[in-house]
Amino acid sequence: MNKKNVTLICFVFLVISGCISGKIPESTKGLVVSPKDVLGKIAMPASGDVIRATANITLNSSEGRYSRKMALLLKTPSYLYTETIPIFGPADFFLSANEESLKVFLPGEGKFYVGKATKKNLFLFLKVLISPGDMVSILVGLPPQIMEGNLSEYVEGRLYRVDIRSGKRKRSLWVNPDDYRLTKIEEIDDGRIIYRATFRDPIVIDGIPYPGRVDIEVGEPERANINIRYIDLEISPDEDTVAFDLQAPSGIVPVFID
């Protein structure tokens, strides 16, 4: 048998086995039957749980590099609180977000900002055009709030990829079929990458995998990168949402940013 025939036979074998066709390989076939099934199996924290964490966060944008140790409170679907943990002195940055408002206190400037919980307002402070609700999901390693559209499923290496298309928008989710842990998200609008989030170093708590590290790359409206590395992370069944609504300190008049 000549080399040409051997090469052809190997190619046909690969196509049949699914390695080139993009179909689900035999080792994972039968675990899922549709893109909806993949999305429905993604590991989720219990409703009402509050994630308490300490993290090293670095923001690189056109305005420079900002690196701080931060305390975080997160509660799905849209509750966020964070403050800096300085080496010396008091905290110099506080931010809260919930379903209705986004509030930021900058003690060094004596400013207390109040606005709606929109991605444009969050961009003013974090330089990422992502809504507070979607940011909460990304920080805990979950898909952003559901985007309606046409679903399609692919296999890339050992991962499932689910694409959600709506008009010119496309959201891609990469899922590990071993534990249905989200490993990457990519948001594209009209061919432009809005953001890409990658999840690494999983931390398993009560059977639920949370990312130990989150890397966010932003392409629009300006390039920026946020790197989050969790130092510690714990879950508490806490229904209270008071912590997610900053109050203006006495004597400081709020600045409305809408």
**Residue in the structure block whose two tokens are 């805990």:** 140
Q: Domain residue spans in the chain?
A: 27-256
Model confidence pLDDT, tens digit, residues 163-204: 999 889 899 999 998 888 999 999 998 888 889 999 999 998
Average pLDDT, the chain: 83
Query: Residue 45: which of 70, 69, 83, 79 has the closest Cα?
Result: 79
Segments of the chain with pLDDT less than 50: 2-32
Copy the structure tokens of residue 191: 């061919």
Peptide bond into 77 cis (omega under 30): yes
Q: Identify the pLDDT of residue 22.
A: 43
Q: What tokens appear for 242 in the block?
A: 């008071």
Q: What is the CATH number of domain 27-256?
A: 2.50.20.10
pTM given for the model = 0.80
pLDDT at res. 33: 54
What is the predicted pLDDT for the residue at 198? 96
Contacts of 171 (CB under 8 A, 6+ apart): 143, 144, 147, 149, 163, 164, 185, 186, 187, 188
